[in-house]
Structure 1
Amino acid sequence: MAYFPFYIDIKDKKILVVGGGKVALRKVEKLLQFEPKITVVAPFICDEIRKLGVSIIERKFIDSDIDNIFCAISATDDEVVNGHIFKLCSEKNILVNTVDDKDKCGFIFPALVNKNGITAGITSSGKSPVYAKYIRERLENLLDDNADITETLFKYRKRIKSEIRNEADRKIVFERLLALCLSRDEIDDNLVSKLIEEANNEN
């Protein structure tokens, strides 16, 4: 099965994480980058999760825990509990991820990159997680080497769109600007003005 990379704003969305160990911790840490409202439910919750400032309910999962949530992550080591949560969520059309059980997942966690204005999820659809991790690490290194490019392009995006009417010409200017960023040329207002003028004069 190939998974569609569906990007969605989860800020302030209610997310339930069932499980309080290291696996749950990794999921919570990934999610917190995007500012949802997370509740962790488990009989035992590790200190690392407690320090993250999420809501804590220290008891076993009960069915009403899924009321009014956006999605659930089942990260327990109990297959019966995981299966029950998956069944409940499926019946109520709630997205659910069951850790290490792809057959009980409505969505999966990709190898995630989120830095320098770029967010990317990489998955091999379960075929080779180690290769997805390798690609993620390569992409992280690329972004580290070009940390300021996203902000530079964003800085001039609105101006270029407003001053160049033709979409094809705008694309050319953005590509030229990107090439200059990658070659470490100094980008300033005068250079961008020149690129815009050249694009408009070509028509």
Structure 2
Amino acid sequence: MLLAAFLDLHGETAVVVGGGAVASRRVPTLLAAGLRVSVIAPTISPDVRAQDVTCMERPYHPGDLLGARLVLACTDDTAVNDRVTTDARALGLLVGHAGHAERGNLRFPATLERGGVQVALSTGRELPMLAQALRERIADALPGTLPLDEWAERREQAVTLTGPARDEALGTLRRDIRRTVGVTA
């Protein structure tokens, strides 16, 4: 089983080794999470170049990972991806391996953001099409908008209370949330 977690990596450095289709799909995710992204590959596609990344058009060298927090090995050469993954793991970095996810320690789930809520899905196996189908099914169940700020403020106020007043305020909030998202009692 994999550890499901949301990571705050804003301002950290990501190194993407490979400049093709996989990099083109993954780089926007990294940028949206606030990472600074460097792309290293002998050839970098125009789609990747058009993004807010530092491009190094050359082969990968082991020293390229120094200072990184996250690494993606996404070339079309399994041997290069294996070398990048081995180097990254030796440095204790988070690393995703395109084509052989089990060799890395980082996998990208199918994600959905709606109503201010982010949902991530993984099958725990190499079945991204199942995770994508489930994401679509869940999207239909999520409300388009939710009063997250109001609920967060009510929770903050409730936790400052003590005894029965705290229990009542949290219970009311819990019931309001469940009713809004369509969950009974």
Q: When the two structures are superposed, what TM-score results if normalisation uses the length of structure 2? A: 0.86
Output the amino acid matched with 2:105.
G
Percent identity of equivalent pairs: 22
Contact 2:112 2:135 in 1 (8 A): yes
Q: Could you list the per-position Cα deviations for residues 129-167 of structure 1 after superposition, in whole angstroms to 9, with x for gaps in the alignment?
A: 222112212233333x33133344234332333356555
1:179 CA drift (Å): 4.3
Larger Rg, first or second structure (1 or 2)? 1
Q: For structure 1, list consecutive stretches of 5 or more residues without a partner in the other structure.
A: 184-203
Kindly indicate whether residue 159 of structure 2 is the aligned counterpart of residue 161 of structure 1: yes
1:182 CA drift (Å): 4.4
Q: Within 5 A, what are the aligned runs for 1:35-184?
A: 35-126=34-125, 128-143=127-142, 145-163=143-161, 165-166=163-164, 167-179=166-178, 181-182=180-181
Distance 1:150 1:50, change over 3 A: same
* SS of 2:47 mapped into structure 1: helix
1:72 CA drift (Å): 0.5
Output the amino acid matched with 1:156.
R
Contact 2:154 2:173 in 1 (8 A): no
1:116 CA drift (Å): 3.1
Q: For structure 2, list consecutive stretches of 5 or more residues without a partner in the other structure.
A: none
Q: When the two structures are superposed, what TM-score results if normalisation uses the length of structure 1? A: 0.79
> Which residue of the partner structure matches residue 192 of structure 1?
none
1:73 CA drift (Å): 0.3
Give distance in 2, aligned partners of 1:165 and 1:51. Answer: 56
Q: Could you list the per-position Cα deviations for residues 80-100 of structure 1 after superposition, in whole angstroms to 9, with x for gaps in the alignment?
A: 111111121122222211012
* SS of 1:174 mapped into structure 2: helix
